[in-house]
Amino acid sequence: MKGSTKVGKKHRLYYVTGSKGGVGKSLVATSLIFFLLENKKDVRVIDTDDSNPDVGRIYENSLRVSYIPLSDNTKSWGLFLNALEEFSSSNGDAGEIHVVVNGAARDNKTIEHNGDLLNSVFQEGLDYDFSTLWVISDSIDSVNLLNSYISVVLTGNLFVFRNLHFGEPSDFITFNQAIPNLKGRVNGIYEFPNLDSTVSSLIHREKLLLSEVSKKVSIGWRMLYLRWLNDVRRNFHSMNEYLTKLEENNYAD
């Protein structure tokens, strides 16, 4: 994936996945949306998780959200790609849009069967720079699923987020051992900070916008949350700087 896409197109598309449930992808997607909005970006959301579309539910009253469950049914992929085109065309010359896709748990099968569409659709004029944010746990399954994903999806940038809910970076033994083999495929590796379960449960239960959390918790949880939020900002700021630098280099070429 590394170096396989040209940044500098009008819009950005972020696919947040991990191909299994419970790795924390919904919180990563929610946090990414918060970061983009905080930086005054024009954001759209597509939630493909039909069993637990938490991201869509959090933002459906404040952003344009589409629910498109991706499956082995090719029609679902047609609807997904059509939605991306519609987002782009309806925005006209109003400026860059950022589309965040919350991937479904166990989406590895549909990626295996239809992920090749992502390798060709941007060549057909879909006006996005594409990035995958792969959220990983400390299990061997996470690494095997990542390898399966990058064997099918050959386009775009790839950023891996080690979810520190599962331990320190050194605890991700299988992934850490795989890093040498991933060189040339991964554009960046980040540590997604662990959020205290009291706060994360509140977000999940009440479908809270991250901008509202501080108003809902007592000062101890608030301070822990604000520290977590600053760590999240640093992650996405670094990723955004990387993408912007690629964009500038492509313009220079």
Q: What is the CATH number of the domain that holds 128?
A: 3.40.50.300
Range of the structural domain that residue 81 is part of: 11-252
For residue 199, being part of any structural domain is answered with: yes
For residue 6, being part of any structural domain is answered with: no
119-139, pLDDT tens digit by residue?
A: 999 888 888 999 999 999 988
pLDDT computed for residue 125 by the predictor = 84
- Spell out, as residue ranges, where the chain has pLDDT lower than 70: 1-9, 250-253
For residue 1, being part of any structural domain is answered with: no
- Split into its structural domains, the chain has a count of 1
For residue 2, being part of any structural domain is answered with: no
Per-residue exposure over 198-236, b if at least 16 CB sit within 10 Å of its own CB, e if not:
ebbebbbeeebbbeebeeebeeebeeebeebbebbeebb
The tokens for 199 are: 């706060």
For residue 5, being part of any structural domain is answered with: no
For residue 112, being part of any structural domain is answered with: yes
The rounded distance, in Å, linking the Cα atoms of 26 and 94 is: 29
For residue 229, being part of any structural domain is answered with: yes
Amino acid identity, residue 110?
A: T
Supply the pTM of this predicted model.
0.93
- CB 66 within 8 Å of CB 134: no
For residue 67, being part of any structural domain is answered with: yes
The β-bridge partners of 191 are 162
Q: What percent of the chain has pLDDT over 90?
A: 72
